Homo-oligomer: A and B are copies of this chain.
Amino acid sequence: MTTSTAAPNLATSANKPLESDPIVDKLHSLARTESRAYDLVRSLVDEAGSRLAGSPGDKAAVAWGVRTMKELGMQNVRAEKVMVPHWERGAESGRIVSPVSHTLALNALGGSVSTTGKGIEAEVVMVDSMQALEKLDEASVKGKIVFFSARMQRSRTGDEYGRVAPMRAYGASAAAKKGAIATVIRSVGTDHDRFPHTGGMRYEKGVPEIPAAALAVPDAELLERLVLAGKPVRIALSLSSKTFPDAESANVVGEVIGREKPDEVVLLGAHLDSWDTGVGAVDDGVGCAAIIEAARLVMSLPVRPRRTVRVVLFANEENGLRGAKTYATDHTVEMEKHHLAMEVDYGSGRVHTIRFLGAENSAATFSRIAGFVAPLGIAYEQAPASGGADTIPLRPFGVPLVDLSQDATKYFDVHHTANDTLAQVAKEDLDQVVAAVATVAWAAADAPDFFARVPEEQRGRK
């Protein structure tokens, strides 16, 4: 495929559907008028609630996935066992001790160790980046709590997440190396509401494991004002989070068997787990709903596509990617039959751009598929698809990928918060996502030729 780095002419490609097709038109119409995606999200979040890997909600979600796909008439529905990490939050609290007294709205980061005894209290040292932390000498960090104050800008692409989230993921070990006893971060989010944004973090081997928490943005801004005012600022943290032995969960799989080449697979992925604070309607209930509903719409057509459309509800995306890894391991021999893979994990915002990652000789088919989604307001960007977290383990196998990039303007307002509930889902936008997924799934699964593998040099992650 073309990997030109020149800016693509998005307006032109978005506005000129390459061709029309009665089945595509039918899928667009069905998604607009008969989509059950919103009801599927509601059903999942009402029945399973929050569903962090290893929790009772996680188990309930697996049962929901199996039952739902069976009820919809999908084939080969099964739960494929995955062993997942099992971390529990427990009670948690924080406060500013001096120079003034304030309660802090915070969440332990996923995987954080607890504070010991009655908690810890120490002076804060504020940095706005990993680089700023690196420049501090150990004497100014030792025994203190490092506060990462970096803020995330709002955008349609959500690209800033890539810049800021590493402080959440790796900041604790970086701070511990300098002698810090804990870290707090300004939540990686674009809202100004009093919801902390939790998220995954990892400890580096051989480095002391120190507690790590996220502050709600208004609380982080208060802390920043106090630090900038110049007096020493002391805060207290009490976290009682705990890691248990790995637990059993599952990837839930269901299929619409292809009419000609049933062993060739178009994979639609989303993740079934969520963080524990909210019910994960947006992250990633909507993704699960969109791919199930897309498969249902394909199944409702008078004719099946040539190849199989496989829905995979991955386990444990949030804090381990064990579902994706296990899928790749369990299906290694079948990887060469994976025609195309896509992931829906960016909320319910409308799809604005489509990109592919594949071999040069698939370009004509990719372009044809892009034309099919153009009437949905989706631009064809001729730059390589990035894939998502759950498609990472497919990359070494050269499985072609497609990105349906969604509008993330509001996504990071509720991402990883207690506020991720059904009330945040926009039905009409979600149904446009369903239309896009169904169209790409059908068109790829029905394409005449099997997609050649991604060239070796493009299999790494951007």
Q: Residues of A at under 8 Å CB distance from B?
A: 42, 46-50, 56-57, 60, 100-103, 105, 192-195, 217-218, 221-222, 225-226, 278-279, 417-419, 421-424
Whether B194 pairs with A418 at a CB distance below 8 angstroms is yes
Whether A101 pairs with B418 at a CB distance below 8 angstroms is no
Interchain Cβ contacts under 8 Å between A and B, 9 examples:
A60-B100, A102-B279, A193-B193, A193-B195, A193-B419, A194-B195, A194-B419, A194-B421, A218-B422
Number of copies: 2
Distance of A421 Cα from B279 Cα, bound (Å): 25
Contacts A101-B49, A102-B49, A103-B50: A278 and B423 contacting too (C-beta < 8 A)?
no
Contacts A56-B101, A194-B418, A195-B194: A225 and B46 contacting too (C-beta < 8 A)?
yes
Nearest chain B CB to A87 CB, angstrom units: 17
Q: Which residue of B lies closest to A421 (CB)?
A: B218
Partner of A218, one of B60, B194, B218, B423: B423
Residues of B near A103 (CB, < 8 A) are 49-50
Contacts A46-B225, A225-B46, A226-B46: A194 and B100 contacting too (C-beta < 8 A)?
no
Residues of B near A42 (CB, < 8 A) are 225
Nearest chain B CB to A55 CB, angstrom units: 10
Whether A423 pairs with B49 at a CB distance below 8 angstroms is no
Q: Which residue of B lies closest to A102 (CB)?
A: B49
Whether B423 pairs with A221 at a CB distance below 8 angstroms is yes
Contacts A195-B194, A226-B46: A423 and B100 contacting too (C-beta < 8 A)?
no
Nearest chain B CB to A45 CB, angstrom units: 8
Q: Which of A101, A105, A218 has the most CB of B within 10 A?
A: A218
Contacts A217-B423, A218-B421, A423-B217: A278 and B194 contacting too (C-beta < 8 A)?
yes
Residues of B near A60 (CB, < 8 A) are 100
Residues of B near A225 (CB, < 8 A) are 42, 46
Residues of B near A193 (CB, < 8 A) are 193, 195, 419, 423
Q: Which residue of B lies closest to A45 (CB)?
A: B222
Distance of A60 Cα from B46 Cα, bound (Å): 44
